[in-house]
């Protein structure tokens, strides 16, 4: 018998750096270039939504209501103001089952950032760089935020029920949701983990004269952080940059090739100056010769020559062991060539 799967997830899942980028984009979604601020109200709201949606169970075909009680309100006050009462009971007792969510009013220093303290000095960090255009010049604005303030919030979820089956179903659901120890919620799109700290039984079944019901307590810790939008700062960055560069190039040598022949014959000295090479250099003459001409082969406009430090004009004589200095004027910094022609004497 063939089995057809109708719903297949073909969207490629992101991992690693791609997933981090997706999360960063989600945090700033619909809020310009800055993350959304986070307050205790946002944390309480997100936790309540988690309890209402992720820990939702049914009893007798009806969804068990979830009531949010932030703070240590008196139970009697809650019972008087809550409308879900049992109309079939002449005492109009609260209708079972139901779930309550309570946050303790003692936020603790946070452990969200690996239990590390905030960097001192209220330093601001660049969160985003936004290109701008002012008076025809392209610039940039820096959006800066401080390091978030970590805080741990303790929540208590209680299930009140007169059925042990409902209690078992809820306990099974809680353990399933926290089978990986933690569950992430997203206050204003910021990921924060909830950790199950433990559970205990607070059932009131000792007094046989009173109403008998079961109460199961679950304790949770939200590893959260808060962000105050008053601390966000937008500052203009430099909109015009002047860059000066000094090239420190290694000195390139000069290639000298001479072709002597017999006495009373000619000698040719082919000189190649490499790119960025020194255009003034000195050699020691190995021959007695008479320099009669200079040929500018490539990228050279003129050449001046000195013998033993004395400037010479063509033609002139050079003795063996004399120092012969050439100073070439190059058209540009590229490869240069010229040739010196003379006669051996």
Q: What is the pLDDT of residue 211?
A: 58
Residues in the chain: 345
pLDDT in tens, the chain (345 residues): 566 667 766 677 777 777 777 776 676 666 667 778 889 999 999 999 999 999 988 888 888 888 887 555 555 556 555 545 555 554 455 678 889 898 988 888 888 666 566 666 677 777 777 777 776 667 788 888 888 888 999 999 999 888 889 999 999 999 999 998 889 999 988 889 999 999 888 776 555 455 577 889 999 999 998 888 888 888 877 655 454 545 444 455 556 566 555 545 788 888 888 887 788 888 888 888 888 889 888 889 899 999 998 999 888 999 888 998 989 888 887 888 888 888 887
For residue 194, the Cα-to-chain-centroid distance in whole angstroms is: 25
Q: DSSP letter at 263?
A: T
Domain 17-113+149-229, CATH class in plain words: alpha beta
Q: CA nearest 171: which of 161, 180, 185?
A: 161
Give the model's pLDDT for residue 227: 86
Element (H, E) at 318: strand 316-318
- Largest Cα–Cα distance in the chain? 141
The CA-atom distances, in angstroms, between 97 and each of 64, 71, 170, 173 are 6, 22, 11, 16
- Half-sphere exposure at residue 8, Cβ-oriented, CA atoms within 13 angstroms: 4
The one-character DSSP state at 48 is H
DSSP symbol at 116:
P
Phi-psi map region of 51: left, alpha, beta (phi>0 left; psi -120 to 50 alpha): alpha
In this structure, are strands 98-103 and 66-70 parallel, antiparallel, or unpaired?
parallel
Token pair 């703070």 in the structure block, residue:
71
Q: Categorise residue 188: left if φ over 0, alpha if ψ from -120 to 50, beta otherwise.
A: left
- Which three-class secondary structure state does DSSP give residue 64? coil
Q: Look at the domain 254-344 and name its fold.
A: Jelly Rolls (2.60.120)
Q: Of 199, 160, 156, nearest to 65 (Cα)?
A: 160
296: which 2 tokens?
Answer: 């500018």
Domain ranges across the chain: 17-113+149-229, 254-344
Q: Is the peptide bond before 315 cis (omega within 30 degrees of 0)?
A: yes
Take residue 99 and report the two structure tokens written for it: 């779930």
């Amino acid at each position: 018998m063939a089995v057809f799967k109708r719903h297949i997830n073909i969207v490629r899942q992101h991992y690693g750096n791609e997933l981090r980028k997706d999360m960063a984009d989600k945090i700033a979604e619909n809020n310009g270039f800055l993350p959304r601020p986070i307050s205790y109200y946002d944390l309480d709201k997100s936790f309540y939504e988690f309890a209402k949606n992720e820990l939702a169970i049914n009893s007798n075909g009806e969804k068990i209501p979830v009531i949010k009680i932030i703070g240590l309100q008196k139970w009697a006050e809650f019972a008087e103001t809550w409308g879900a009462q049992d109309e079939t009971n002449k005492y109009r007792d609260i209708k079972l089952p139901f779930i309550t969510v309570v946050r303790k009013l003692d936020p603790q220093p946070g452990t969200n950032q690996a239990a590390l303290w905030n960097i001192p000095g209220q330093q601001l960090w660049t969160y985003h760089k936004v290109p701008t255009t002012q008076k025809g010049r392209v610039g940039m604005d820096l959006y800066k935020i401080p390091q978030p303030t970590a805080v741990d919030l303790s929540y208590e979820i209680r299930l009140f029920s007169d059925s042990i089956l409902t209690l078992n179903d809820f306990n099974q659901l809680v353990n399933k949701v926290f089978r990986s120890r933690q569950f992430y919620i997203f206050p204003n799109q910021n990921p924060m983990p909830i950790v199950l700290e433990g559970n205990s039984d607070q059932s009131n079944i000792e007094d046989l004269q009173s109403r008998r019901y079961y109460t199961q307590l679950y304790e949770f810790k939200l590893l959260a952080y808060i962000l105050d939008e008053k601390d966000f700062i937008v500052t203009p960055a430099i909109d015009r940059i002047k860059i000066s560069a000094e090239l420190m190039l290694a000195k390139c040598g000069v290639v000298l090739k001479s072709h002597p022949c017999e006495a009373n014959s000619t000698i040719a000295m082919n000189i190649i100056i490499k790119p960025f090479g020194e255009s003034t250099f000195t050699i020691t003459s190995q021959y007695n010769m008479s320099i009669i001409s200079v040929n500018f082969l490539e990228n050279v406009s003129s050449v001046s020559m000195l013998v033993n430090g004395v400037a010479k004009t063509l033609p002139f004589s050079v003795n063996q062991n004399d120092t012969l200095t050439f100073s070439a004027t190059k058209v540009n910094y590229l490869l240069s060539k010229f040739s010196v022609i003379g006669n051996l004497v």
